[in-house]
């Protein structure tokens, strides 16, 4: 199995790169943001709860997110591996993921982090907001709050995987194809 955490701040290109990775290595792509958005669209209880956090640019509580992630993994018992996109976003989620994967006799093999400067990210997110209509991408104050959440709660997750020698930083500025190649090179070594 190859289980990969695709990491990086909002707008780093995780979703874009996940599409390439998934095809190249036949992995199951789980984006917690996408799962929340589809629950919001379908007006499920989970969606109604998540919306109140997402609309403000806050993280959804860990217990809700971890339960949801586990159920997404359990839907794919035959998977050759997973790309976790947008998860874990807190140390507590990272610890829960380790425990959960250990119970299934597997582990995270790599955290691949897309490194992009913040001013580039803000421009990218505002552009994406015009096309996607995502309300959390259209308002600069919400974007800034997502960075604040990222810096406070998510950035420490990097050290969690660094200490396990699983961290691979990739320059996330460049063409989509070029970045995809750099990621594939790392994944091929795993």
Among 6, 59, 97, 110, binds ligand AMP (CB under 6 A): 59
Given the structure tokens 């604040």, which residue do they identify? 148
Positions in 128-147 near ligand AMP (CB under 6 A): 136, 146
The first and second tokens of residue 121, run together, are 């990210």
- Judge contact between 97 and 70, C-beta under 8 A: no
Among 49, 53, 109, 166, binds ligand AMP (CB under 6 A): 53
Measured in Å, how far apart are the chain's first and last C-alpha atoms? 10
> Does 87 help bind ligand AMP (rule: CB under 6 A)?
yes
Closest distance to ligand AMP from the beta carbon of 89 (Å):
4
> Does 13 help bind ligand AMP (rule: CB under 6 A)?
no
> Does 9 help bind ligand AMP (rule: CB under 6 A)?
no
> Does 161 help bind ligand AMP (rule: CB under 6 A)?
no
In the chain, the largest separation of any two C-alpha atoms, in whole Å, equals: 43
DSSP state of 60: P
Burial class (CB in 10 A: 0-12, 13-18, 19+), 85: buried
Closer residue to ligand AMP in complex, CB, 124/146:
146
Q: What's the rounded Cα separation, in Å, for the pair 28 and 18?
A: 9
Closest distance to ligand AMP from the beta carbon of 77 (Å):
22
* Residues at the interface with ligand AMP (CB under 6 A): 10, 32-33, 36, 53-54, 57-60, 65, 86-87, 89, 93, 136, 146
């Amino acid at each position: 199995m190859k289980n990969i955490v695709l990491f990086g701040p909002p707008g780093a290109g995780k979703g874009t790169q996940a599409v390439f990775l998934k095809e190249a290595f036949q992995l199951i792509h789980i984006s917690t943001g996408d799962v929340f958005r589809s629950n919001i669209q379908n007006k499920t209880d989970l969606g109604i709860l998540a919306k109140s956090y997402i609309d403000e640019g806050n993280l959804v509580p860990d217990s809700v997110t971890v339960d949801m992630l586990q159920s997404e993994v359990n839907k794919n018992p035959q998977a050759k591996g997973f790309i976790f996109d947008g998860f874990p976003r807190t140390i507590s989620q990272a610890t829960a993921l380790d425990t959960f994967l250990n119970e299934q006799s597997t582990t995270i093999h790599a955290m691949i982090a897309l490194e992009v400067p913040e001013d580039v990210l803000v421009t990218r997110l505002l552009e994406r907001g015009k096309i996607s209509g995502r309300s959390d991408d259209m308002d600069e104050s919400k974007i800034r709050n997502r960075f604040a959440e990222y810096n406070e709660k998510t950035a420490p997750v990097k050290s969690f995987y660094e200490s396990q020698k699983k961290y691979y930083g990739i320059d996330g500025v460049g063409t989509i194809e070029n970045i995809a190649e750099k990621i594939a090179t790392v994944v091929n070594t795993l």
